[in-house]
Amino acid sequence: MHNILRDLTIDVAEHNNIKYQRQASSRYTGTDTDAFAFSNGGVASTLISLPLKYMHTTVESVDKDDVQATIDLMYHTLLALDPTEDYKYIK
């Protein structure tokens, strides 16, 4: 993930008292974010995931508070983006 966007997302969560968890990932996230991040010389990307249990099963489960926190984090992160910031990986 893009370091500036990752840090921005964490700052937004902390500033807005939005609960979040971080997951350590050695190199790849296992999501489409990997493809976005490395296509066309690198597209600035960050990953905000919804915590859930039993993904891709008929009993997939989420907590509604986690859904709201994820929505809030996405919303406030988008509002915090700086249109003058150069988010390119490769300068």
State the Cα–Cα distance between residues 55 and 47, nearest whole angstrom: 17
Q: What is the pLDDT of residue 90?
A: 62
Residue 72 lies in a domain: yes
Q: Tokens for 85?
A: 């910031």
18 near 11, Cβ under 8 Å? Answer: no
Residue 50 lies in a domain: yes
Identify the top-confidence range among 16-30, 42-56, 59-73: 59-73
Residue 23 structural domain: 3-80
Running DSSP on this structure, what letter comes out for residue 83? T
Q: Model pTM?
A: 0.78
Residue 45 lies in a domain: yes
Residue 11 lies in a domain: yes
Mean pLDDT score of the chain, rounded to an integer?
84
